[in-house]
Structure 1
Amino acid sequence: MPSQIEAEIKLAGPTLDALQQRLTAAGFTLELTTPRHFEDNWLFDTPTRSLFNTRQALRVRLRDDLDGATVTHKGKPVETPASGVKVREELELTVSDGHTLIQLFKKLGFEKTFRYQKFRTIYRLRHSTGLDLWAMFDETPIGCFVELEGDQAAIERLIQQLGLARDDYITASYPRLQFERCQAMGRPLEDMTFALAVGDGR
């Protein structure tokens, strides 16, 4: 069960090409590591929302290019004062049958609190200055994003390398972005899924 300390930010753009060009214009090279694939993410919590209330998360991720699923526990984030970048521990493991695991969580009393989907392409992002991190290009029902992930020092250097002001990047998760979007429309939180879901976890 690998454990790692993760920091990340997101950049939004009109298209994935525009986001790639933004990075290459700043001198970064992108090495494709995982071709475009579909991800279906399910968040679970206790009936009392004990995870949400302590800023933790339990996620089951299904992918159309892999058998099985990935289960992730996200620990309580620590927010760095200057940049707002959140740093948190993640525990992750792979299981052979994600759909059965989803049913198991439900039988154990966990509730599905949110579901979000995306098409993701993963690159290794490198710069001549020595910066080395991950770039996940996401096509979501609410727009295009690149999620930039590494350790805290790498993300802080990336922000400087790109000349980003605090308002130029996003530290919120996809559930938070969808919550704010629904709130702005006067609606309760809705799942962030495509009209024709590829996998439904039944």
Structure 2
Amino acid sequence: MGIEIEKKYRLTREEAVALERELERSGARFIGEEFEENTIYAGGALDPQRQVLRVRRTASGTTLAYKERALTNGAIKHQREEETRIESDEAIAAILCALGFHPALVYEKKRRKWRFAEAEVVIDELPFGIYAEIEGDAEGIDRIERELGLESAEIEHDTYPQLAARHGVKRDNSIEARFVNQSKSN
């Protein structure tokens, strides 16, 4: 079982540009960027307030993830995360539907990723905003936050699925948060 520990920040475009400059200045190693299409499934015994079943499609492949957030009031979030690569998008969709799950939410994301000290730092652009995340251990997150000048950045407590549900558009039986003019084949 994997435990993901992260802290998320809501950024303005100017703050995102400044963070990228600070990452470059500090010697962080740029890992790359990727476009994602995330489909969140509902149904079964999932508690939508704490559990997520997600299929993520990128140019490098498809993954299935289960996440279960630990209840906490702090800014640093802890959650169980199990993830595996999927060979066939169509097969996993059919399996999940046969088990009683259905696509409830789709959101797109453009992610830029860096390695900084013992943590991963990402800048995510979604159709409804720009966010940064630091993922590592709690002590390292606090130190990196200070080193990158993020102490005054607005903390975002909600997950991307929660934000997408709030800001997305209802389409048939699901909610979608997509970029305008973004091709599904990316």
TM-score by shorter chain over 0.5? yes
The answer to whether structure 1 residue 99 and structure 2 residue 97 are counterparts is no
Is residue 10–residue 170 contact of structure 1 (8 Å, CA) maintained in 2? yes
Distance 2:136 2:23 in 1: 16
Distance 1:107 1:198 in 2: 28
Pick closer, same or farther for the CA change 1:59–1:139 going to 2, 3 Å.
same
Give aligned pairs, total: 179
Distance 2:35 2:90 in 1: 15
Measured after TM superposition, the shift of residue 62 of structure 1 is: 0.5
Pick closer, same or farther for the CA change 1:28–1:139 going to 2, 3 Å.
same
Please say which of residues 9-18 and 107-116 is displaced more in the overlay.
Answer: 9-18
Choose between structure 1 and 2: higher strand proportion.
2
Equivalent residue runs for 1:153-192 within 5 Å: 153-161=139-147, 162=149, 164-165=151-152, 168-181=154-167, 190-192=175-177
What's 1:125 paired with? 116
The answer to whether structure 1 residue 75 and structure 2 residue 68 are counterparts is yes
Is residue 38–residue 120 contact of structure 1 (8 Å, CA) maintained in 2? yes
Measured after TM superposition, the shift of residue 77 of structure 1 is: 2.1
The answer to whether structure 1 residue 10 and structure 2 residue 3 are counterparts is no
What's 1:129 paired with? none
Letter of the 1:96 partner, please give it: E
With the length of structure 1 as denominator, give the TM-score of the two structures: 0.74
With the length of structure 2 as denominator, give the TM-score of the two structures: 0.80
Equivalent residue runs for 1:16-165 within 5 Å: 16-23=16-23, 28-33=26-31, 35-46=32-43, 50-53=46-49, 55-64=50-59, 66-67=60-61, 69-79=62-72, 81=73, 83-126=74-117, 132-161=118-147, 162=149, 164-165=151-152
Measured after TM superposition, the shift of residue 113 of structure 1 is: 1.6
Measured after TM superposition, the shift of residue 160 of structure 1 is: 4.3
Where 1:44 maps in the other structure, the secondary structure is: strand
The share of aligned pairs that are identical, in percent, is 21
Letter of the 2:159 partner, please give it: S
Measured after TM superposition, the shift of residue 29 of structure 1 is: 2.6
RMSD of the TM alignment (CA)? 2.8
Pick closer, same or farther for the CA change 1:32–1:176 going to 2, 3 Å.
same
Pick closer, same or farther for the CA change 1:36–1:93 going to 2, 3 Å.
same
Is residue 72–residue 90 contact of structure 1 (8 Å, CA) maintained in 2? yes
Pick closer, same or farther for the CA change 1:136–1:193 going to 2, 3 Å.
same
Letter of the 1:93 partner, please give it: T
Structure 1 unmatched runs, 5+: 127-131, 183-188
Measured after TM superposition, the shift of residue 23 of structure 1 is: 4.6
